[in-house]
Amino acid sequence: MFRQGAETTIIINDYNYHATPGFSFQFIALVIAALSLMAVDYRNPSLTRPVRTALSLTGYPLQLIVDAPFDIYTNVTHYFTNQTQLASENRHLEEQLQIYSVKNRDMQIIEQQNARLRQLLKAPQRPGYTFTMAEILATSSERGRQIVTLNKGSRDGVYEKQVVLAEDGNIFGQVIDVTPISSRVMQLTDRQHAIPVRNQRTGMRALASGTGKTDQLELKSIIPSSDVKEGDVFVSSGLDMLFPPDFPVAKVIPNGVKYEPGDQFANILAKPFINFDNTREVLLMWKDDSIAAPTIIPPEATTVSGVPSGDLTPSLFGAATSTPALTPTSNAVAGSTTPAPATTAPNPAVTPAALAPVATPTQKQAHTPNSKTPSKPPKPTRSAQ
């Protein structure tokens, strides 16, 4: 209290010196709630899916705003590009288009031949694939994690565990989380990611695990006596029933093969074929069984053994000559010295029309002496005594 002439001023300090020092109750409650939510999300992610979806929808406009300067810069740069450079790139792309169109035609012929062989061998047809391009909006800032966010979501047909490719058809990663308008993809180099692979040179199987670095993968489950050399290419094996087989994954780096005495497995490092830092567009892949195999015209005639009447080589490679089927009639007419065995069972899939031109009983008796129905021996005659 201060006294200044006739006026009196009273200064009151409202600070409570008896309050408990430390964090407030609200802050402690929020910390406990956050830790509990993190534990539930780690143990059972399906319970927190609505919360993550709501947060993703809320933050999606912010991601677009952050990515807008880069898009504006790219569009402006392309707009003011030199006309000569554009014309040169256009010619180069036209040449590539012509080359790929010829290769595509050749590939269609090879697919038809492959489908024909698989049909003859009764092997399952290889599935077809369709693709859609997506753009990367954001990357994860967590240390050791390689996760990116795409601008495609469930409304575009994206689903969890979907395979994602990059340039030249190299495997980029897989989708781990989907919202209606975006999705999150785990890259191959993420420390929690692994993919079964095989050596393209020797066929040896291994497991490619991420190291948390964008330019390095670790090949595991390889014994020290294995034949692995610098420059070996490892492709996906398809044994996990997720990634399609024979897609490029990584290549063994120089001095990447090391054997430590006493270790059960070798230490092998490989470099992915993708530059993850500079990748802005990826391809989402869908399996499409409707385009798995081209239309194959069935053979017109079939022999008793179920093999097409024409020779296999002309039907596959378009030769002008063909070999006629070997039937009992052709043997009887040509007088072949190797008759068809009479005990051969007919194929149940053969139609009566295919078996129409058969030999007559007279021809069979004359041509197949080892028939199941033996002829009766002549009766002996008594000589006159």
Answer yes or no: is 78 within a domain. Answer: no
Quick one: which H or E segment has residue 148? strand 147-150
CA distance 282 to 187: 11
Residue-level pLDDT at 22: 52
| Single pTM value for the model | 0.56
Answer yes or no: is 207 within a domain. Answer: yes
Answer yes or no: is 243 within a domain. Answer: yes
**DSSP-based three-state secondary structure for 3:** strand
CA distance 214 to 194: 14
**DSSP-based three-state secondary structure for 260:** coil
Residue 365 pLDDT exceeds 70: no
Residue-level pLDDT at 282: 95
Answer yes or no: is 334 within a domain. Answer: no
Under DSSP, the state recorded for 214 is T
Structural domain containing residue 202: 128-294
Instruction: Report the CATH number at residue 190.
Output: 2.40.10.340
CA distance 268 to 234: 12
Answer yes or no: is 378 within a domain. Answer: no
Work out the pLDDT band at 224, boundaries 50, 70, 90. Answer: confident
Mean pLDDT of the region 336-357? 42
Answer yes or no: is 163 within a domain. Answer: yes
Residue-level pLDDT at 208: 95
Answer yes or no: is 166 within a domain. Answer: yes
CA distance 257 to 269: 7
CA distance 309 to 270: 51
Among 186, 252, 255, 245, which residue's Cα sits nearest to residue 219? Answer: 252
Residue-level pLDDT at 49: 77
Over residues 36-65, the pLDDT tens digits come to: 888 887 777 777 778 777 877 787 788 778
Over residues 128-170, the pLDDT tens digits come to: 889 999 999 888 877 778 999 999 999 999 999 999 999 888 9
One-letter amino acid for residue 12 of the chain = I
Residue 221 pLDDT exceeds 60: yes
Over residues 96-131, the pLDDT tens digits come to: 899 988 888 888 899 888 889 988 998 887 778 899
Residue-level pLDDT at 7: 55
Quick one: which H or E segment has residue 281? strand 281-288
Residue-level pLDDT at 16: 54
Residue 346 pLDDT exceeds 80: no
Number of domains the chain contains? 1
Residue-level pLDDT at 13: 52
**Cβ contact 302:308 at 8 Å:** yes
Answer yes or no: is 142 within a domain. Answer: yes
CA distance 166 to 131: 11
Residue-level pLDDT at 86: 80
